[in-house]
Amino acid sequence: MPETLNSDLWVDRYGDMLYRYTLVRVKNPDASEEIVQVTLLAALQAKSSFQGRSTEKSWLFGILKHKILDHFRELKTQRTFELTPEDGSDPLENAYHADGHWLNAPKNWDTDPHKAAENHQLVEALSQCMDRLSDKFRNIFVLKEIEGLASEEICKEMGIKPTNLWVILHRARNQLRKCLETSHWDTKQ
């Protein structure tokens, strides 16, 4: 039997999961709530185009994903995503000896990345570390690693030069690395 839509139950059935999905990407609770509302309103308008080939839930998530990207495009009209002097310097600038070897060497996390991803505490720790990034770095990291957009697409959508995208990602990853090391691995020892 094809899936049918029951818009009266959308908020109770899917509201919280749509909200959490948005919050991971957008960070701001008010903006996330607004995006969920805009998504459900758009879904209501588009109800007749639902053909029952997917589940109600994945259909709503499909609309939500578009609305989240719209949100990022809107941010770009308000501020630049290019690298500027305000973004500070490379966190690894003083991490090496003069001969190029590590001074503050990264620790051995001794973990298989895929096994680590099954550790909910660690996933939560990453989420908290992401919230400590600057908005610009967080947004770019989200587009790359959470949304999984291609680098070319991010450069085009957010108006960044490829070399600056790599610099931003490199710095964001290093800040996350440091934060996870302090919040998770240091406390484990």
Q: Which two tokens stand for residue 151?
A: 């680098």
**Least distance (Å) from other proteins to the CB of residue 153?**
12
Tell me the window of 4-12, 48-56, 71-79, 80-88 that interacts with other proteins (CB under 8 A).
4-12
User: According to the binding rule CB under 8 A, does residue 165 interact with other proteins?
Assistant: yes
**For other proteins, which residue of 3, 13, 19, 54 counts as binding (CB under 8 A)?**
19
The Cβ-side half-sphere exposure at 116, using a 13 Å CA radius, reads 13
**Least distance (Å) from other proteins to the CB of residue 116?**
5
How many CB atoms lie under 10 A from the CB of residue 53?
Answer: 9
Residue 46 or residue 74: which is nearer to other proteins going by CB?
46
Residue 84 or residue 127: which is nearer to other proteins going by CB?
127
User: According to the binding rule CB under 8 A, does residue 46 interact with other proteins?
Assistant: no
Phi/psi at 100 (nearest 5 deg)? 95, 0
Give, for 112, the enclosing helix (H) or strand (E): none
Rounded Cα gap, residues 17 and 14, in angstroms: 5
